[in-house]
A and B are shown apart, each in its own frame.
Chain A
Amino acid sequence: MTTNEAKTNMTAEQKLQKLRELYADAPEIGKAALKNGLAMLTKELAAPGHAQTAGRIGARQGKVSELTVFLPFVPGGAKRLRGFLELLEGNFKAADAVGTVHDMRFVFVDDDTKILFATAYDGDFDPYIEDFAAKIPNAMDLWLCNFEGYPGMRNPKAAADWIAAHQIAAEAWYVNSPNLTAAETRRLEKVGTAVDEFLDKIG
């Protein structure tokens, strides 16, 4: 039996017991909260979990995956990228063109020696990188060239390997509408507008 199966076979009561053991040495406020939250926790632990993986790396919920990486800058890279991002002023038409990105953030950390890049996107990791390599290789090179060891998008497999090497696994990943891809969301926006117009006419 794998660990996952073992977990699925645990009852809520057993999970609760494990949680109590885990929290035996927790700060006071945590122990108190655990006591107060027994009823609520039992319900949460009873519900089936549905954590998945996004293929090679990353977590996934339904159709939506996450990628979290810390990338090290080359000397001068942080300054260059920051300048470039400022000039773009939050405009990421390139990401729109790919059409599978839900959100992404760029955070300069560790005194500008690294960047935290965190994104939510549709599907699995490797096809995602292939998509970028196929549709916007240039835009990718333009921002990733600022990092140590970046091999370039001309070799998507090498690029994917390089990204994977810097990825950190999420312990937990939550998505509100896990079955809504970015494209489906855009389609629904159009449907919503059409319905409003229609109802206005007949209402």
Chain B
Amino acid sequence: MAEELNSHPINRRNLLRLSGYSLGGMLVGGSVLTLAESLAGKATEPLNQKVEELLLKPQTPVPEFPVSAIEPNALIINTYDFTPNINLNEFRLVVDGEVNNPLSLDMSMIQTMPRKSMVIRHVCVEGWAAIVQWGGVPLRELIQLAQPKPGVKYAYFISADRYYESWDLASCLHPQTMLAYEKNGVPLPIENGAPLRLASPIKLGYKLSKWVVQVTLVSKLLPRRGFWEDQSYEWFAGL
């Protein structure tokens, strides 16, 4: 009787073995390997970062979308903590660091600078995306005005809610990277980062700081590189 039961290849014993291997594999995978996730990251992130740095075409705009493609409801407000209260009359954007001409600009001065508009895809690390129109001052205009010293390779961005970010200089100078004060044809709402937020199609959403108050140009990164990067998210985060 036992032989008949076990002679057919799809028998209880084989099904139990198959289930056992599968569940065992997943148990090992799920729990044991999860403990090693930061090792997996450290092993391959330098390589992945090198690849995406090579993929970036520093002066080539990425394709944009028609205004009809804008998805206003898809742009989720993903504020992680609180929305700061900014007095627009007292607001100044500071551009400093290793520069010859540090800046302190109010919004009226910023709005006299060259203005660019673009319709691009915003991509969040959570896996959602939204087509959005941004209008604002190209970041490279501000950086050029501040006259960075030779050797400057990075920029830190400080926000009014104490969120902080750092970028590579090449991505800062990309033609589609801007400090935006307009969204979908209207002045930027406070919950989306008014008066000024970073906007660009070449980096993940968490690198696009809201409520930017200070841009600091440096030749070396500090140990702390960004709110999410300091919690092991990618630093370059190129799309």
Binding between chains A and B:
no
Interface residues of A (CB under 8 A from B): none
